[in-house]
Amino acid sequence: MMAQRRGRVPCAIGNGMPANRLTGMTERLIHKSSNGDVWALARDPDSKLPAVKHRPNASSGGRTSYTDIGKFLREGAGGPEHQALLKLIGTLLDDAGRSS
């Protein structure tokens, strides 16, 4: 039988929350623009797959949409919301395996 490690559970998303505390999380803020648009990592309510949830500001209609993560990144990786998602994804990787 393998011995269990004691101590803190490693961060799952780089937000300081132990991995076991993330089970009830429904979305994670990616970016909020100065005009009020909000992007979050969430589950698409239809497919149940991870997706980027975009909630435009009220003056733009405020209609929430979901986009596949790959499609979102392909369609405009230069925007601050795209860079924020890439940074969030990067926090999921363990630096221990990185070569110098």
> Which region holds residue 61: left if phi is over 0, alpha if psi is between -120 and 50, else beta?
left
Task: Give the separation between CA 60 and CA 93, rounded to whole angstroms.
Answer: 36
Confidence (pLDDT) at 15: 43
Segment 69-89 mean pLDDT: 89
pLDDT category, 75, cuts 50, 70, 90? confident
Confidence (pLDDT) at 81: 94
Segment 41-45 mean pLDDT: 93
Confidence (pLDDT) at 95: 65
Each residue's pLDDT tens digit, 45-57 = 999 999 999 999 9
The model scores a pTM over 0.85: no
**Which amino acid makes up residue 44?**
D
